[in-house]
Amino acid sequence: MQVKDQEKLRETLIKLLSERNVIQRGKFVLSSGRESDYYVDIKRAITDPEVLDVIARLIKGEVEGADKIAGPALGAVPIATAVSLYSRKPLLMIRKEKKGYGTSKLIEGELKTGERVAVVEDVTTTGGSLLRAVRAIQENGGVVERTFVVVDREEGAVEEFKKRGIELIPLISVSDFRDDH
């Protein structure tokens, strides 16, 4: 996809997320344990087919070298599913923890040693949840070089992944939500 088309899709995504009031003001405790005066309520958006369509189109051209698409439960599963459908690459779902029954799997879907996996996430702050998913893939023989996040809160996740030799590509950052959008 051409850069111009990508930029147009990014602008569309920002507009759609703004229209759905994804950024909420107030006092919130984040999954990282940090307190914040705003919350990115991405679940309002990723349950919307129009938003998922734009997200999947933004990511699909970036995952050509990957064998699989993965997303940690719960928020990234719809995103990973949409990207899987667009890219025609098999899906992996990463549980928060191994289930205590049945097969006790942490990863749902088939992962073979050496397969390259692109991992998607809904929101990152420090990147802890996404990093746990990446580790699960690596510990099960997968290779992760690139990860994607719909909204980066710009609180260190990109830098943390860079230190580990993994590229984290935000579709948009919280600073993209200016008053002019």
pLDDT at 17 over 60: yes
* CATH T-level fold of 3-176: Rossmann fold (3.40.50)
CA dihedral 42, 148, 156, 127 (to 10 degrees): 70
Binding site members: 95-96, 99, 121-129, 153
Q: What is the mean pLDDT of the chain?
A: 90
**pLDDT tens-place string over residues 96-121:** 766 554 445 789 999 999 999 999 99
In the block, residue with structure tokens 């893939």: 137
Torsion 28-30-33-34 (CA) sign: negative
Q: Which positions make up the binding site for 5-phospho-alpha-D-ribose 1-diphosphate?
A: 95-96, 99, 121-129
Annotated binding site for orotate: 125, 153
